[in-house]
């Protein structure tokens, strides 16, 4: 069952070089520019006409929604709002028949997400589900949807379900962009080709596992951690911090890197580990100056960088390389080292990584 691994979580982390491919299987073929999500076929016009998409979810699924916000806005030029299901359901949200709600849930049983769906439905919105568990309550409550096909996720900390959600949401964003004509044929083809390469790039990140383990060893007894990223890597920073909190019980915070100087920078001293998502993308120069700001205050920096980066290794304490990909697909590779880092730290602290205290795999009560 654990396939020779010590925990389900590490098995599921390593499965991602396969599961991401499973999320795309039969849906995407770059050689003839094919992209189709069966469950959404009848809704593509509706998607293309939507003025706004509201995404709801909790925890890691909410983080996948934040990634999707960048994807939908950038590629499909549609206004997106991402909401915690628990907040959305208790407001009096302005929703109409023109709205599309995308509910994201691994288990498909999260009580708050289900209630948010029922509320939006009662106001006439069209609801799509992005669920992992087939036949789950949320999958049944939605009008249409696309399963993530990550396979059963047993570890309480969500890993392969997150990358599967991001993969499926990327496919939806590209399909919508294509229908609306908001991306060029060239970008469309390039994204499909790059998506097909993601599984092997994720496998490449695994080659750094022993290095990540060494870094984990050094920071095993840290009391706090800060995770910083910009753009698409901002939700990845939130996800990295959540993974560390839930399984190692180390206090961790994720922030958009530019927000640091509005408060959190006061926390930086020689005892503060700061994980930077510093891949080579349109935020690179800005992230480099944020790293300098942290180093000037003696923070200990672990940077996730793009393979071959020559600048950042000379500035920081530790680097972990990830392969280059299309900027829009970065989270699928940059989140992997963060999952591994939290796993190894939690194991070294002797935590029950598959079943952390106080947590349940599906949160069926509000």
Q: Is 107 in the site for ligand F6R (CB under 6 A)?
A: yes
3-class SS of residue 249: coil
Interacting stretch for ligand F6R, rule CB under 6 A, among 20-28, 150-158, 302-310, 329-337? 150-158
Phi, psi of 302 (to 5 degrees): -110, 120
Q: Which H/E stretch holds residue 79?
A: strand 79-84
Asked whether position 19 contacts ligand F6R by CB under 6 A, the answer is no
Task: Count interface residues toward ligand F6R (CB under 6 A).
Answer: 16
With CB under 6 A as the contact rule, the residue among 50, 101, 157, 232 that binds ligand F6R is: 157
SS3 45: helix
Q: How far is the CB of 136 from ligand F6R (least distance, A)?
A: 9
State which residue, 204 or 361, has the beta carbon closest to ligand F6R.
Answer: 361
At closest approach, how far in Å is the CB of 210 from ligand F6R? 24
Instruction: Compute the distance between CA of residue 257 and CA of residue 343 in angstroms, rounded to an integer.
Output: 24
Rounded distance, CA 191 to CA 188, Å? Answer: 5
CA distance 41 to 295: 50
Please say if 361 is a catalytic residue.
yes
Closest to ligand F6R by CB, 142 or 290: 142
Site for ligand F6R in 227-256 (CB under 6 A): 242, 246
Cβ 89 to ligand F6R shortest distance, Å: 14
Buried b vs exposed e over 59-73: b needs ≥16 C-beta within 10 Å?
bbbbbbbbbbbbbbe
> Which positions from 42 through 61 interact with ligand F6R, judged by CB under 6 A?
58-61
| Region binding ligand F6R by CB under 6 A among candidate stretches 154-162, 214-222, 324-332, 334-342 | 154-162
DSSP state of 222: -
| Binds ligand F6R (CB under 6 A): choice among 19, 126, 137, 158 | 158
Rounded to a whole number of angstroms, the minimum distance from the CB of residue 165 to ligand F6R is 8
Residue nearest to ligand F6R (CB): 59
- Per-position x/- string for 295-314, each x denoting binding to ligand F6R as judged by CB under 6 A, each - no binding: --------------------
Q: Are 235 and 67 in contact (CB under 8 A)?
A: yes
Name the residue nearer to ligand F6R (CB basis): 178 or 243.
Answer: 243
Question: Which tokens is 252 given?
Answer: 């961790």
The H or E element spanning position 256 is: strand 251-256
DSSP assignment string, 146-190:
EE-------SSS-SHHHHHHHHHHHHHHHHHHHHHT-S-HHHHHH
Residues that bind ligand F6R in the complex, under the rule CB under 6 A = 58-61, 105-107, 110, 113, 156-158, 242, 246, 362-363
Which residues does the annotation mark as catalytic?
361
């Amino acid at each position: 069952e654990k396939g020779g691994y010590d925990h389900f979580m590490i098995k599921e982390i390593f499965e991602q070089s396969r599961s991401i491919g499973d999320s795309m299987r039969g849906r995407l073929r770059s050689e003839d520019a094919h992209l189709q999500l069966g469950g959404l076929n009848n809704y593509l016009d509706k998607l293309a006409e939507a003025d706004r998409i509201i995404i709801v979810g909790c925890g890691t699924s909410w983080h996948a929604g934040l990634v999707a916000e960048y994807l939908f806005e950038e590629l499909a030029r549609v206004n997106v709002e991402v909401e915690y299901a628990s907040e959305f359901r208790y407001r009096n949200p302005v929703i109409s028949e023109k709205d599309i709600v995308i509910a994201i849930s691994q288990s498909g049983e999260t009580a708050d997400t289900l209630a948010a769906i029922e509320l939006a439905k009662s106001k006439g919105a069209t609801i799509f589900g992005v669920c992992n568990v087939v036949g789950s309550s949320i999958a049944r409550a939605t009008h249409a949807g696309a399963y993530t096909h990550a396979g059963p996720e047993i570890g309480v900390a969500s890993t392969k379900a997150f990358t599967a959600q991001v993969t499926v949401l990327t496919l939806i964003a590209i399909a919508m962009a294509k229908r609306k004509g908001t991306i060029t044929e060239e970008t469309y083809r390039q994204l499909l080709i790059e998506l097909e390469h993601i599984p092997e790039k994720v496998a490449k990140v695994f080659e750094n596992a022993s290095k990540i383990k060494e870094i984990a060893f050094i920071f095993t007894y840290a009391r706090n951690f800060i995770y910083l990223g910009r753009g698409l890597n901002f939700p990845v920073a939130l996800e990295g911090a959540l993974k560390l909190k839930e399984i190692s019980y180390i206090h961790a915070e994720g922030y958009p890197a530019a927000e640091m100087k509005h408060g959190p920078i006061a926390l930086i001293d020689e005892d503060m580990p700061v994980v930077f998502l510093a891949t080579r993308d349109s935020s690179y120069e800005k992230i480099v100056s944020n790293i300098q700001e942290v180093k000037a205050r003696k923070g200990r920096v672990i940077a996730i960088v793009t393979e071959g980066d020559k600048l950042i290794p000379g500035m920081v304490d530790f680097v972990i390389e990830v392969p280059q990909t299309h900027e829009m697909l970065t989270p699928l590779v940059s989140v992997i080292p963060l999952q591994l880092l939290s796993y190894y730290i939690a194991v070294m602290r002797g935590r029950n990584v598959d079943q952390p205290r106080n947590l349940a795999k599906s949160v069926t009560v509000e």
